[in-house]
């Protein structure tokens, strides 16, 4: 039977990129007719502390992230929703994987470089890097691999920016199984059909929760007015017609990518551009704002309701239930792993 695992960092409310790249796929996977299919979606708080966090704020954001996931339609009777730190097996397996993961491979990964604002071809040896790079940020992909492997996931639905981390997880499986026998299962990546969603203000950068400019991202809990204001203010270019060319026209193409996510007839961005050939950029923005507002309709209201339901205890109850299922599933793997290693 299929086992689905994916994660999201509680560093802010999920945005349109998270929705397009990941959450939308998670929702579709709930319709899998396979009765035995198990689904685990984790709010990865241990990954979030690779950048500085305030305890009180992190606690609040974890609850908000879980409430936002429920508001999109994730159903706790079909999907276990839990905080990563509630399942200690994730960190236990991480340590074990650390003992077979190579620092050479990790040093080529691009995420720690981009989080430190370094270029992708920076090496560990470059001046100052070794001193400022925290071990946790460097080994971030090892914890991510443990998240996936501890649940024996067969499929991992993520946005395109996570590909490199998934390849690393498969590398960990190869190394572990070579050393200890064929106990871990190699996961398949499922990526959404859409390209990564870009910042509305700097369309050559990906849309990100940590971007301080609130106009750069649309949160899935934004009001219709906020959504319209942000779309209308999106950076485009000076050619007042519609065409799809991500290289030459990143801003306009990003709007078409967004429109395509919500297009009821399932047209891809290039097709949409053809259909909108004679329209102005103002028209395009109006269409995008309408589509996003309709597509996210109801999420905001449900988000607020979930957060306050049963005086806030509902969220904690959902999490406790999800964590119990996740611990049980992870424990099965750990029993095999400990046995194989001699622990």
**Which residues form the interface with ligand TYM (CB under 6 A)?**
5-9, 17-18, 20-22, 44, 47, 144, 147-148, 156, 158-159, 161-162, 165, 196-197, 206-207
Q: How far is CA 58 from the centre of its chain?
A: 17
Cβ contacts of 220 within 8 Å, gap of 6 or more: 13, 14, 15, 16, 18, 19, 23, 68, 71, 72, 296, 299, 300, 303
Q: Which of 206, 230, 285, 325 is catalytic?
A: 206
Q: Which of 36, 62, 78, 115 is catalytic?
A: 115
Give which of 141, 56, 44, 25 is closest to 87, Cα–Cα: 44
By beta-carbon proximity to ligand TYM, the closer residue of 45 and 281 is: 45
Q: CA 176 to CA 196: how far, in whole Å?
A: 32
Q: What is the DSSP code (8-state) at residue 187?
A: P
By beta-carbon proximity to ligand TYM, the closer residue of 196 and 215 is: 196
Closest approach of ligand TYM to the CB of residue 15, in Å: 7
Is 115 catalytic? The answer is yes
Q: Which of 113, 209, 230, 285 is catalytic?
A: 209
Name the closest residue to ligand TYM (Cβ). 21
Closest approach of ligand TYM to the CB of residue 8, in Å: 4
Q: CA 94 to CA 100: how far, in whole Å?
A: 10
The token pair that represents 108 in the structure block: 């080529």
By beta-carbon proximity to ligand TYM, the closer residue of 194 and 236 is: 194
By beta-carbon proximity to ligand TYM, the closer residue of 172 and 197 is: 197
Q: CA 102 to CA 117: how far, in whole Å?
A: 23
Strand partners, 66: none
Residues designated catalytic: 115, 206, 209
């Amino acid at each position: 039977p299929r086992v689905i695992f994916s994660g999201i960092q509680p560093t802010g409310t999920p945005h349109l990129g998270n929705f397009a790249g990941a959450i939308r796929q998670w929702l579709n996977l709930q319709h899998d007719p396979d009765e035995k299919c198990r689904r685990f979606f984790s709010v990865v708080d241990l990954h979030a502390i690779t950048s500085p966090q305030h305890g009180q704020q992190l606690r609040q954001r974890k609850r908000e992230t879980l409430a936002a996931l429920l508001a999109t339609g994730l159903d706790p009777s079909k999907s276990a929703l839990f905080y990563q730190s509630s399942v200690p097996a994730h960190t236990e397996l991480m340590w074990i994987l650390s003992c077979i993961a190579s620092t050479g491979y990790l040093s080529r990964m691009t995420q720690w470089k981009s989080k430190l604002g370094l270029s992708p071809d920076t090496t560990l040896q470059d001046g100052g890097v070794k001193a400022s790079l925290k071990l946790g940020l460097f080994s971030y992909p090892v914890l991510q691999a443990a998240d996936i492997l501890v649940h024996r996931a067969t499929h991992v639905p993520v946005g395109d920016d996570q590909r490199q981390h998934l390849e690393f997880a498969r590398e960990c499986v190869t190394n572990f199984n070579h050393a200890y026998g064929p106990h871990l299962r190699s996961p398949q990546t499922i990526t959404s059909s859409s390209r990564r969603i870009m910042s509305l203000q700097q369309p050559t950068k990906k849309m990100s929760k940590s971007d301080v400019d609130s106009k750069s991202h649309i949160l899935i809990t934004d009001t219709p007015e906020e959504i319209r204001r942000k779309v209308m203010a999106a950076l485009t270019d000076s050619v007042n017609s519609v065409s799809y060319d991500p290289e030459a026209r990143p801003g306009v193409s990003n709007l078409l990518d967004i429109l395509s996510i919500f297009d009821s007839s399932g047209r891809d961005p290039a097709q949409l551009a053809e259909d909108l050939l004679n329209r102005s950029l103002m028209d395009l923005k109006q269409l995008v704002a309408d589509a996003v507002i309709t597509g996210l309709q109801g999420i905001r209201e449900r988000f607020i309701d979930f957060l306050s339901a049963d005086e806030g205890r509902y969220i904690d109850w959902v999490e406790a239930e999800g964590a119990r299922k996740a611990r049980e599933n992870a424990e099965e793997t750990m029993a095999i792993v400990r046995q194989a290693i001699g622990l």
